[in-house]
Structure 1
């Protein structure tokens, strides 16, 4: 591990002043960053401890919530308002990692965790454009069972690993940020970017910009929501495919819906096409399947992950059918 200095920030202004210096990285729970430092993929000059930022979950006008950047994942998943108003988020967080990791991981850190692509971690034997721009991507023709089927590029087929972020994408969450000019907000769905020809640039954050909170807007039908994760083993595994859905019914008709997919793209994938295809349609298995077909129509699977296309369709259809029967 390379030598580095350590500084602890007491507030957002202090954190940004320290974190905007060249070579600085923000440290929350450290559950991803420290691993990357051990592998010498991340080599910060300074670690800025931001666990002193807000660890509160505050009520907002209209029934929304403001989740502080330093809130631990366990605290988020167990919070009564989250479990009752946004059950998809509670279930998504509980699906991630082990209890010990969730006890350490922070909301901001979870949001910014990097891919778990094996070629990204193999610093000695594999080519990776995300790690070394312009080097190439060995995953394209290599072992790509866990890789992207949507929004990928020839330069990168990695997927975003977070469960929590899939739910936040479906919920129209908003990111609160601190930068040199003060504060700004960004729709959560715009925070992460697709790889295109610059896979090493993973977010739209400015240099040194700091996440201070995640806002959950009120969602009247959020109680009828859930998260389902399909993986190779029942625990401690990243998603092959995951689905976050909130469903509003008017009798037997879909009045409104929110959907996002995980394990399929470089970023949490908002299922805009499926939502559009389903609104105003009868809440039937046929309509659910048609919506899933619409979303996956332009999937581009690789040699090792073509099964993900049908798996995503079936999972989305099954979750919608499950929510149809939920009494709220």
Structure 2
């Protein structure tokens, strides 16, 4: 049996968890996105799963609850939230041969606090009408004056963009990255605001020619009758860093430091990382499985191939504060 409960219900029931569920999950991802996995897990194991969706404040919630937390597992949509949870001490290391076999080393925490489930690339959505093939090649190129008035992006202070800026720092130095941020800002068609899909809508509307976004938004827009035209007006281009690959981020899972049901939590984590579950999860979210042995969906595969950048994800999380500082120094969102 699978149930989805509001956060308040989970908290109120923290003294009677066995009667409520076998695994409680705090998730930054909408419950419906992981429901196919939950249903398959429950059918296979008989272990019920409760999902509490949080828009923000997951780490702060776990800190406030302390040992009384009802949460066994956290799910996030990017590596930075995982790194923040580890730094705050609200996760615990998990030793599992299954997890290590299912998740490549580059997609898991060196100390086994978190494990990747899916990956996505942060790419360029280019207008089919106004951007020629081969016109976009590198992330560094986005600061070239040829793009003046042609770029749209969500705020530079958003986690997706600060992680990209952290990757630029990893490949270059502070001075180069600051100049790059200033160059991209000078090329913006309008003030950064809205989400990734809003930027692609702006390309469709002719307000800009290229937009930064995550790959999975293409799939989400194609599923939406109103947004399908936005998706059909652009194509995915995979830029690279000079001397590197295409920037990627991950969704991931971790066990909470005070998980009341650690055995069931481990079973859920091992299932989530299994090849079958990776295929289900990646297809549902239009992402890439972290295991190279698991094929992406036909839709995702149709976007083309790319070489992921080789910068360690934890290195990016450590560079993010500096990336955020530089973004604010150039007043990127101003």
| TM superposition score normalised by structure 1 | 0.27
| TM superposition score normalised by structure 2 | 0.27
Q: Whose relative contact order is higher, 1 or 2, with alpha carbons under 8 Å and at least 6 apart?
A: 2
